Amino acid sequence: MSKLKAHLDNIALSHSVFALPFAYMGAFLAAGGVPTGHDLLWITIAMIGARSAALALNNYIDLKYDKLHPRFTQRPMVTGAVKPREAVLLIIVCLVLFWVAAAQLQPLCLTLWPLALVPLVMYPYMKRFSWTCHLVLGVALAAAPVGAWIAVFGEISAPVLFLGLAVGVWIAGFDVIYACQDVAFDKKNNLNSMPVRFGVQGALRLSQLMHVISIAGFAIVGWLLKLHFIYYGGVILAAAVLVYQHRIVSADDLGKVTQRYFMRNGLVGILLFLFTIIALLYEE
């Protein structure tokens, strides 16, 4: 059981709150209501496989830096609770699970399966080369709602592109805030980020801009799909969460950027998904 817990901690299972609500949101919007049980099941399995592989791969590739980082001393791969070969085996199993799930959905899902892996593999390496690493993470998470939409609808259309954009810049903007804590560490180890490139104050402004774009993107999705006005209640609440997140941090005080702050950001996806369901069901 301790080994199982170590692997669950290594893939940060609780962080599913960031991707799953948006994946379900994409599926419900594509269906114009409640998707079939078959689609929801395989979308869920695909998400579990993809994000588990992504988190394990990120921790595997970044292990040499995590061992040096004072904030990551208790990570399972740093403590040795999860061995590198075990992580590699888990990554392979999760990618196979992702592939099997994609094969059960619309044909385009299987066609695009290799493309979905590109940002997952690129992200752990990006900090070594470019301050745009946060945007690559955004692309990786944007694949959740876009992939779920394709799984149900079978093709890509304008609403899901705006949904993917909104989700991508939302998580990228949040990742920028989180990276502000690591400026000294990143500079010492020749790693790149927006806070390193533009300074903490400049990075926080860019994060605010990305979150404005994100909320606008969610609103455009509602407009394009002619969703009931109830949907916009979720957009407003999500915006309120983001405003609050930005108000409690500053370049001079990053003390509020804790694990609780990190998890609270998941409210954005949960609120939007819940209000999406209510809006769709109300229209029925």
pLDDT digits (tens, 9 = 90+) for 6-65: 766 666 666 666 788 999 999 999 999 999 999 999 999 999 888 888 888 888 898 889
pTM of the complete model beyond 0.75: yes
Which one-letter amino acid corresponds to residue 47? Answer: M
Q: What is the pLDDT of residue 4?
A: 67
Q: Where are the domains of the chain?
A: 2-283
The overall average pLDDT reported for the chain is 89
The residue ranking higher by pLDDT, 40 or 124, is 40
Check whether 120 has a pLDDT greater than 70. yes
| CA angle at 172 for the pair 189 and 219, rounded to the nearest 5° | 170
pLDDT of residue 8: 63
CA distance 125 to 120: 10
| Per-residue pLDDT tens digits for 179-225 | 999 999 999 999 999 999 999 999 999 999 999 999 999 999 999 99
Q: Tell whether domain 2-283 is in CATH 1.10.357.140.
A: yes
